[in-house]
Each structure stands twice: as C-alpha cells, then as structure tokens.
Amino acid sequence: MSVVTSSSPAAVAPAAAAVRWPETRYSIALLVMTAATGAVDAVSYLALDRVFTGNMTGNVLFIAFGVIGIDDIPVLNNLVALLTFMLGAVVGSRIIRRTAETIHLPLRSIVCLIGTTAGAGVLATVWLFVGELTEPMFIVITGILAFLLGAQAASVKPIGIRDLSTVVVTMTMVNLSTDSRLAGGKGKDWLRRISAILAMGLGALLAALLCTRVGGPIALLAATGLMAVGVVLLALARRRELALL
C-alpha cells in the first residue's frame, strides 16, 4: 500500500485522495494490460499488413512514409487505425465521465474494459472461422482493434499512474532515464518503469511467436486472454480500494 502521490488523477476528490489506495495492485493489473497491448500490436503489425492498433506514434510515421511514396506502406490502414483509436478514446472518455465516483477506477471503467475485452475475443473468433482475409477485412479488423484499444486507454486513465498508460512506453523510458541516479535523480519508480517496458516487449514476443507458428487469430485470442486477466486484476484492485474507503 502507498499514499496517493502526484501521479494520482487530479479528478479524484480530496476525500478520496486523502486515503490509502492499492497502487501496487493497480500497477500489476496495468502491467498485464500493457503486455496485452504489446501482443495486439504484434498481431496487427504481423498479420494485418504493417499497422499498429495501440502504438499510434508508429502509425503517424508510417503515414508520413506512405505519403511520399515509400513502397509497401499501407497508408489507408494506418490512417484508419489512427482515427478509430481516437474515436475509441473519445467514446471511452464519454462513458466514464458520467459518474460521481471518487475512487481511482470507476465502475464504468470496468464495464468499458469488459466490453473491449469481449469485443477483441469476438473479433478473434470471427477471424478464426473466416480464415484468409481480404483487403477490406484487414481494414475493418484494424479499425475495430484500434477502437477497442483507444477505449481501453481512456478507461484506465483515471487510475493516474503516468508510467502505465497501457498503450505506449516512450514516456516511461524518458521518466526512467531522467529520474535515474545516472541523470542525477533519485531512481524513483525504476522497477515499475522497467517492468512496463518488459511487459510490452514480452507481450509482443508471445504474440509474434504465435503469429508466425499458428496464425493471427490464435495470437489475438491469446492477447484477449491477457486482457481478461488484466481486467480481473483491475476489478480486484478496485474492490480493495473500496474496502479501504
């Protein structure tokens, strides 16, 4: 257990901010969700024609490359992923903002996360039965996955742990480096930050192995399994926080 720090969301009411909260439990759950995102991104890149559905920085770069005519860069796919990710984040934010709860993870966030996980599972199952995909199917699956990950990122944002957005580790690397003793810092939160980087990489590694050996649908089902574990852990952390109020 630890006392809420500046990493906690500003939206949390003073009464909630003054109590202890299960930060470690939330962190573990978010690490699992980060691994799931790494897995989904591996599936989308390797099996959906070189596009990311969680890491939007890569898509921005791919779009730029494609615009100037670099071969084999699917501009439309990356643009669809970018726009649907943002749409998913908007929808997720609209859902969770309609709550008066003052804990770090509102019930609406859990409901939204259950929906995104179920959506990913249904998508993987349909893909498994459909088999080989056409180009329009690539784009549809890419758009749906990006939408789901955008909603996921918005749903966990209220927790307020800045190194664990679940969809990107670039700023986590920056924070790890700038706060390190080598840079004159105190080495704060180094274990959590390294864990986030490793989690995304290991999730991607797992999915890449499955993609190349048994196919994208099975890899996506595995990623969905990681999502489900993460959601359960988040629900348990939320339950613990309610018990501390």
The CA dihedral of 125, 137, 218, 88, to the nearest 10 degrees, is: -80
DSSP string computed for 89-133: HHHHHHHHHS----SSS-HHHHHHHHHHHHHHHHHHHHHHHH-SP
Give one word for 189, left, alpha or beta, with left for phi > 0 and alpha for psi -120 to 50: left
Q: What is the pLDDT of residue 69?
A: 86
Residues in the chain: 245
User: pLDDT band at residue 39, thresholds of 50, 70 and 90?
Assistant: very high
Q: What is the pLDDT of residue 100?
A: 67
The C-alpha atoms of residue 235 and residue 245 are separated, in whole angstroms, by 16
Q: What is the pLDDT of residue 17?
A: 45
Mean pLDDT of 127-131: 93
The domains found in the chain, sorted by start residue, are: 26-244 (1.20.1250)
Q: How far is CA 91 from CA 125, 148, 150, in A?
A: 24, 10, 9
pLDDT over 70 at 238, yes or no:
yes
pLDDT over 50 at 1, yes or no:
no
Mean pLDDT of 219-234: 98
pLDDT over 60 at 38, yes or no:
yes
> pLDDT tens-digit profile of 75-124?
999 999 999 999 999 999 999 886 766 789 999 999 999 999 999 999 99
Q: What is the pTM of this model?
A: 0.88
User: pLDDT band at residue 159, thresholds of 50, 70 and 90?
Assistant: very high
- Please state, as a whole number, how many other Cβ atoms lie within 10 Å of the Cβ of residue 179: 17
Q: How far is CA 199 from CA 25, 106, 156, 220, in A?
A: 16, 25, 17, 16
